Amino acid sequence: MLIRALVVWCLFAWVLLVVALYAQDLPFEGPALGWAFVFAFPAALAVAQGALGRKGVFEYPSAIFVVLTVWIGTMAPSFVVDSPEAHFVFGYSDAAVTLGRWLFFLWCTIVAVVCGRASDESIRLEPRVFDVVAVVTPVAASLGYLMVSGQFSNYQRADFAQLRPQGGALAVATAIGTNVVLAIPGFLLLVFARARSTRLKVLARACFVLTWVILFLLGGRSPMAFAACVCFFVARRVGFKFRSGIAVSVAVALPVLFFLIFTYRNVLQSSNTRTTSIFDFMSVAADATGTIVTQEDARDAAVTQFSDNAKARLWYGPQFFVTADLWMDNGPALRGTFLAGVIQALPSWLSSTKNRLAESYSLEPILVQSGRFPDMDLSATPWLQWLYEFGLLGIVVGAVLYGLLVRWIDLRVARTKSVYEALFWLGMLTLIIGPESTTDAIVPIARNIGAMIGSAYLIVGILNRLFPTRTELRAARQS
């Protein structure tokens, strides 16, 4: 495993260096390579602990590996090299750059150490057709409501909606639909691998393909990447043999899909097409991708826009550097931003003003109000929140908690006897993988996923009563 870890360390470091130089539009300098190797180390440490298999052959990644690679791959490009333009836009000291780099390295290393050795346990669940129907029904209903109400995609023009959201229906649909759909591909892959009946395998495969279509039409690049990561994790847990061709194909396909999604959602934002059904969205997607394929000028313009957007999306480092500056100047903020998610998760009947109160504790508006953070499309990260609130102690404590949580997810998905518990932890894994999900968001997202699973339990109970199994019928006759 040591040789495997060294190989991953070197390859990942060079990938980080190339992406960093591209994202920051800067020439190569010696220190950049050194920092690339520093930030690639936690992923290599995870590999040394069995994250890519303990045997003589590679295995699909464990939870800690997919989490660390996404975190580092998102953050490190703006850590490896320090862009002069970022200094101008954000405004931070050179001391904050050095401190921020080492603090992020410390966070990732602690998470890898606390998570520990990867487990080799395989999932032993035996899902049923009812389980798939019970899970898919509330998610499909929620997405359908969001679609006809003009709220299906963040890039959709809602003024062409047939319905308007009434009361809390939109909030419920969003909570059940968009928060869970990222975990559905991994869940369906689990069902396909563990199902005994051919009928269930066919159903799981069909729903699996359809879910990727839905993820594309939603228009988010990150959600598709997170869903793919969860699928790799599930592939390890169900014991699929590692196929290098599959891993390479996914790695090559994702950037192409990101480009097509970016083009599609740009057209979606300006389209006059009435988008209230899946066929409407597919029509917009076909027009957008067809133009890129057939028109060279449109393709060149789209490539330039995509490149500029991708570079802007990799500017997370300067945010962290400013936070390090604030900590050095003022100490821990202790503003209570971790309360935002707890307050938001409260039932509306308990407090009608809870959302307004939660907003007062929300981290991002507080950062913008400080005058040190531009109001741009870059969300705060967990390590930023822990540093902002509690300083160095926050980095250590937060990293330990995340390491324990990732380890718990890894073990529970393998050991649980309930497909619904497995789905819950897969949903939580999609949340943790995303660097833009602050720690306070864990509470409301966990509530939303729990609500969806509660709906599934209700549905499967009804199905069991309407369509009793042969064993239940035989027992009823005998009694």
Instruction: Say if residues 233 and 60 touch (Cβ distance below 8 Å).
Output: yes
Provide the whole-model pTM.
Answer: 0.90
Look up residue 407 and give its two tokens: 């380890």
Question: What are the start-end ranges of the H helices in 25-83?
Answer: 30-48, 63-75, 77-80
Look up residue 26 and give its two tokens: 């800067």
Dihedrals phi, psi of 291, to nearest 5 degrees: -65, -40
Instruction: Say if residues 286 and 222 touch (Cβ distance below 8 Å).
Output: no
Between 422 and 121, the higher pLDDT residue: 422
Percent share of the chain, pLDDT over 70? 93
Mean pLDDT value of segment 27-37: 84
Closest to 314 in 3D by CA, of 97, 22, 12: 22
Look up residue 197 and give its two tokens: 């009946």
Q: What's the pLDDT at 349?
A: 67
For 249, other C-beta atoms within 10 Å of its C-beta total 11
Contacts of 53 (CB under 8 A, 6+ apart): 4, 59, 242
Q: How far apart are CA 203 and CA 308, in angstroms?
A: 40
Contacts of 87 (CB under 8 A, 6+ apart): 318
Model pLDDT for residues 168-213, shown as the tens digit of each residue = 677 778 777 777 899 999 999 999 999 888 889 999 999 999 999 9
Model pLDDT for residues 346-388, shown as the tens digit of each residue = 877 677 777 788 888 888 888 888 777 776 666 789 999 999 9
Res. 3 pLDDT band, cuts 50 70 90? confident
Task: Output DSSP code: residue 165.
Answer: -
Q: What's the pLDDT at 104?
A: 96
Mean pLDDT value of segment 63-75: 93
Average per-residue pLDDT for the chain:
85
Q: What's the pLDDT at 314?
A: 74
Domain boundaries, the chain: 2-121+317-335+364-432, 129-314
Is pLDDT at 165 greater than 70 in this prediction?
Answer: no
Q: How far apart are CA 292 and CA 261, in angstroms?
A: 12
Instruction: Say if residues 457 and 419 touch (Cβ distance below 8 Å).
Output: no
Res. 159 pLDDT band, cuts 50 70 90? low
Q: What's the pLDDT at 213?
A: 92
Model pLDDT for residues 461-473, shown as the tens digit of each residue = 888 777 765 544 4
Q: What's the pLDDT at 162?
A: 47
Look up residue 381 and give its two tokens: 């990260």
Closest to 389 in 3D by CA, of 432, 320, 329, 337: 337
